[in-house]
Amino acid sequence: MGSVWPWRGWLGSFGTPRDRKQKNEPRNARIEYCVPGTYVEEKPVPLSPERIDRYGLDAELLVDVPGTLVNPATRALGSYVMRTISLSKLLALGSNLRFVTLPQKGYLIKQKEGQPGVGILGAINNILRSLETFGFPVTLAAADDLAEFRDAIKDEAQRSRLGEEHVSRLREIMEDFSKVLFAEGKTITLFALTEKRIPNQQLLGEIDGLVDADVCAQLPDIAAYDLCEGAKCIAYDRPTGAAFHVLRATEAVLRTYYLHLVKRKRLPENKRTWGAMLHQLKPPPNRKRKPPRGLMGSLEHIRVNFRNPTTHPEARHDIDSAQRLLNLCRDVITQMVRDEHWAKPGDGT
């Protein structure tokens, strides 16, 4: 996972919005964005109507939380927050900043609806929205002059253009505005995920992207949770954490599988360890409910080579071994759920 300062390159050679339309802008690139040291309080404070109107914000998407600004769709109460943001939005912010920072006489104030690009008015609105989206509360608080300039020109006729006074005033505003923006940008770090053998889109998705739908529907809740958490740990380059979650998910499914096969003389709940359950699952020749030999071999292989070593304090996994373990456990989990002895509807455990 690489980290970058968000302001680096924003005022580079992006060109105007009209120019950018001719370039191959990545539409689906995604980054994970975390504001370091920002703690989200438990009770979000709704944005005031005045602030929404002032900066043209989206009241449905944004909440104002003491110390930060977050999207409620991705907000984890009482925890640090990492948000997914499209890289194209950052590129668009850079393009809008360049357009507004270096205005020229004759630039359109309002672009005709349906035409490519945006006028100065649209670019300013996009900048103010982006400051809220990306979590720049200091710069947003310092944007009053820019908002006032926007308000002063918003009633201009369609296809009106900037005059010399407009250009002079806007450049003066943006000189001060940019200083605050760049200063605050130095305090924020963006983390860009590197691709793994398993695509990040799959690792960061829902459980039905990790196992087939029929398996997903029958997983214990804790197993589904841990499998998803393990996949996210791989995406975020935390391989040892991924191993813990994936192995815990597998053990949760094994416990359920054990209950489906062993109906009498079950181990006490506090003694249902991985090894003890496998030992009891090894059937005598006359037992009707027999787990497949290949499945038992795979479970034993995971126990000896992954589960037991991972419990040791000195154990560490690299990103390759974590991905191998995830694939191995997904296969074993699927085998258990699809085994003929897994409980059918109405078959209690």
**pLDDT tens-place string over residues 21-73:** 333 433 333 333 333 333 333 333 444 555 555 545 444 433 333 333 344 43
> 3-class SS at 190?
strand
pTM, to two decimals: 0.67
* Domain co-membership, 309 together with 162: no
Domain assignment present for 99 = yes
Domain assignment present for 347 = no
pLDDT digits (tens, 9 = 90+) for 243-252: 999 999 999 9
* Domain co-membership, 174 together with 300: no
* Domain co-membership, 208 together with 185: no
CATH number at residue 314: 1.20.120
**Residue bearing tokens 């499998």:** 227
Please name every residue paired with 161 in a beta bridge, in sequence order, or none if there are none.
108
* Domain co-membership, 221 together with 151: no
Give the range of the structural domain holding residue 177, as residue numbers without chain letter. 2-192
* Domain co-membership, 12 together with 124: yes
From its phi and psi, is residue 239 left (phi > 0), alpha (psi between -120 and 50) or beta? alpha
Q: Rounded CA gap, 76 and 78, in Å?
A: 6
* Domain co-membership, 164 together with 28: yes
Contact between 32 and 193 under an 8 Å Cβ cutoff? The reply is yes
**pLDDT, mean of residues 219-231:** 94
Q: Rounded CA gap, 215 and 203, in Å?
A: 17
> Which domain-ending residue is among 139, 167, 192?
192
Give the residue among 329, 291, 331, 333 at the shortest CA–CA distance from 310.
329
Domain assignment present for 346 = no
> Which domain-ending residue is among 161, 192, 223?
192
* Domain co-membership, 8 together with 149: yes
Number of domains in the chain: 2
Domain assignment present for 344 = no
Torsion angle of C-alpha atoms 191, 195, 198, 204, degrees rounded to 10:
30
Q: For the ranges 57-61, 97-101, 151-155, which has the lowest average pLDDT?
A: 57-61
Q: Rounded CA gap, 8 and 186, in Å?
A: 9
* Domain co-membership, 215 together with 289: yes
* Domain co-membership, 172 together with 220: no
Domain assignment present for 343 = no
> Which domain-ending residue is among 139, 166, 192?
192
- Crossing angle of the two packed helices 274-281 and 239-261, in degrees rounded to 10: 30
Q: Rounded CA gap, 195 and 126, in Å?
A: 30
Could you tell me which residue, 330 or 74, shows the higher pLDDT? 330
**pLDDT, mean of residues 207-230:** 93
* Domain co-membership, 187 together with 225: no
Is pLDDT above 70 for 333?
Answer: yes
